[in-house]
Copies of this chain bind each other. A is one copy, B any other.
Amino acid sequence: MAKQDKEFVRDLTPMTEDYARWYVDVVRKADLADYTTIKGCMVIKPYGYALWENLRDALDRRIKATGHLNAYFPLFVPESLLKMEASHVEGFAPEVAWVTQAGQEPLEERLAIRPTSEAIIGSVYAKWVQSYRDLPLLINQWANVVRWEKRTRLFLRTSEFLWQEGHTCHRTYEEAQEETLRMLEVYREFVETELAIPVIPGVKTASERFAGAMETYCIEALMNDCQALQAGTSHNLGQNFAKVFGIKFLDVDNTEKFVWQTSWGVSTRLVGGIVMVHGDDFGLKLPPRVAPYQAVVVPITFGEATKPMVLEAAGKVVDSLRGAGVRTHFDNRDNLKPGFKFNEWELKGAPLRVEVGPKDIEKKQAVVARRIDRRKDFVPLDDLPKAVPTRLDEIQTEMLEAARRFVRANTHRVQSYEEFKQVIEEKKGFIEAGWDGTPESEAQVKDDTKATIRCIPLQGGEPDGLIDLVSGKPAKHKVLFARAY
C-alpha cells in the first residue's frame, strides 16, 4: 500500500473507535453530503444526489404502479390552516420555520414552511372531492420539508430534507386501512429489494404516533451499531383531517360523508440507513441496484509506453459494460495512482471495480474486485458484459442476506427487566419483550434505558405468555424495543 493510500484510509475514523464520527466521515469523504453555514441544513453533493435519484426513481415507479399520481402543493401553510387540527399543530409547532415578511412588508398572517403537508393538502382536497366517483383519490408529492431540529445529523435529521408524501382519500375506513398497509408493504419491498435493508413492519404505540393520525405503521431497520432507524411510516388518518377541513363526498346512498384518509412518507434519511447498514471501516458499500456507478473501471498504467494501449482497452471495457446496461464510471484521472483510486472507490462504495493493466490485456482478461468482501479474481474480457451484471445481482442478494443475518444475530428476547437493561447496555440491537399496553411502562423503560418501543410487529406481536418488563402484569403485546436514531 502506497503511503498516500494509507493516509487516505487513515482519515476514516474506525467504527469501533467512534461510530458517530465514522458516520460523518463516511458521508463527507464519500461525497454524499456536507454541512453548510446554515444551521442544520446540508448540501447533497452530486454523488449523494445520484444515489438519491436512483432510490427516488425506484420508489416512484412503485408508487405509480399502485395507481398513484404525482402532484405539487405549495411550500407554505398559513398558520390558521396548520392550527385547525389541534394535535397536528401541537406535534409540529415546536419545529416550524415561520415566514413573517415578504419584500419590505410584514405578512398579515404567518406562513409555516411545510413540516408535512396534511393541512395544505386537506384544504385543497375539500374542493376536489365532491362525489364517491372522485374516490379513491391517490396522490403523491416529492418535495422538500422543513423541521427545525436542535440536534442534527447529515441525512438522519436535518432541518430541511427531501421526501415523498402520499396523501389519499377513501370512501370507507376499510379502504383507507387497506391503503395504509398496502403502502407499508410497498415500502418494505422497496427498501429490502433496492436498498438491501431488511425491515420489521409494525404499528407504533400511541406515544410514537404521527401527530393527527389514528394509527401509524412503520418499517424499522437495524443499523450496524445496533441502533434502530425508522425507515418509513404509513398513517391511517381516519377522519381527523377530513372533519377539520371539510373533505366530504356524496356517497352512492346519496348522503354526505367525510372521507377516510391516509398519508405515508420516506425521506433522504434512507441514505443514512444505507451508510449505517452496509458500511465498514473502508467506507460505504452501495447496493448495486441504487449505486450511482455499479462498476468503476480503473486503467493500470505503468509508464508512458503502454499507457495508450491500456487506456484504449479500458475504454472498450467501459463501452462494453455500458452496452450491457451497467452504470459504469471510467476513472481515467491522470494525476492519481491506481492504489489511491482503489481506496477512493472502496470508500465511495462502488460495488465492483474492474482493473485493466498491460498484463491483463495480454491475457485478454481483467481483474474484478467486489467491494463487499474485497475479493478479486480474473474475468476474460469477452465475458465481462455477462459476468458483471450477474455479479451485481449476486452482490445485491448477498448484501440483503448479510444484513438479515445481522438483524437475527442482534435480536434478543429477554424475560426480565434486569436482563433487558443488561442487553440494552451491552449489546443493544432489537429486544423482543412483553408490554402491558400502558404508556406508564413504556415511559419508564425509556427513562431508565433510552430504549423506545420501535413497534408492535405485524407478524409475531402476540403476547406469547410474556409479562410486562416494568409492571410485571401479563403482556398485551410482544414488542420490539431498541435505542433509535
How many copies of the polypeptide does the oligomer hold?
Answer: 2
Q: B38, B49, B148: which contacts A70 (Cβ < 8 A)?
A: B49
> Chain A 319-337 against B: per-residue CB contact (8 Å), 1 yes, 0 no?
0000000000000000100
Q: B42, B73, B75, B96: which contacts A146 (Cβ < 8 A)?
A: B75
Bound together, the chains give a CA A104 to CA B41 distance in angstroms of 19
Bound together, the chains give a CA A49 to CA B73 distance in angstroms of 10
Bound together, the chains give a CA A78 to CA B69 distance in angstroms of 35
Which residues of chain A in 79-107 are interfacial with respect to chain B, using CB atoms and an 8 Å cutoff? Answer: 81, 93-104
A113 at the interface (CB under 8 A from B): yes
- Nearest-CB residue, chain B, relative to A336: B133
- Nearest-CB residue, chain B, relative to A96: B103
A124 at the interface (CB under 8 A from B): yes
Contact A94 B98, beta carbon cutoff 8 Å: no
Q: Which residues of B contact A34 (CB under 8 A)?
A: 124, 127
Bound together, the chains give a CA A32 to CA B34 distance in angstroms of 37
A416 at the interface (CB under 8 A from B): no
Q: B42, B98, B103: which contacts A101 (Cβ < 8 A)?
A: B98
The smallest C-beta distance from A15 to any residue of chain B, in angstroms, reads: 26
A139 at the interface (CB under 8 A from B): yes
A74 at the interface (CB under 8 A from B): yes
Contact A75 B41, beta carbon cutoff 8 Å: yes
Q: B41, B95, B99, B103: which contacts A93 (Cβ < 8 A)?
A: B103
The smallest C-beta distance from A12 to any residue of chain B, in angstroms, reads: 20
A255 at the interface (CB under 8 A from B): no
Contact A43 B160, beta carbon cutoff 8 Å: no
With contacts A72-B49, A103-B95, A160-B75 known, is A81 near B37, CB below 8 A?
yes
With contacts A37-B78, A98-B102 known, is A43 near B73, CB below 8 A?
yes
A162 at the interface (CB under 8 A from B): yes
Bound together, the chains give a CA A50 to CA B98 distance in angstroms of 31
Q: Which residues of B contact A101 (CB under 8 A)?
A: 97-98, 100, 110
Q: Which residues of B contact A95 (CB under 8 A)?
A: 102-103
Which residues of chain A in 37-54 are interfacial with respect to chain B, using CB atoms and an 8 Å cutoff? Answer: 37-38, 41-46, 49-50, 52-53
With contacts A45-B71, A69-B50, A74-B43 known, is A37 near B123, CB below 8 A?
yes
Interchain residue pairs A-B with the least CB separation, the first 4: A46-B69, A41-B74, A102-B148, A44-B72
Which residues does A use to contact B, with CB under 8 Å? Answer: 34, 36-38, 41-46, 49-50, 52-53, 69-76, 78, 81, 93-104, 110-111, 113, 120, 123-124, 127, 133, 139, 143-144, 146, 148, 160, 162, 335
29 A–B pairs (Cβ distance < 8 Å), ordered by A: A34-B124, A34-B127, A36-B120, A36-B123, A37-B81, A38-B111, A38-B120, A41-B75, A42-B74, A43-B74, A45-B71, A46-B70, A49-B69, A49-B70, A50-B70, A72-B162, A74-B160, A75-B113, A94-B104, A95-B103, A96-B102, A97-B111, A98-B99, A98-B101, A99-B99, A99-B113, A100-B100, A113-B113, A144-B144
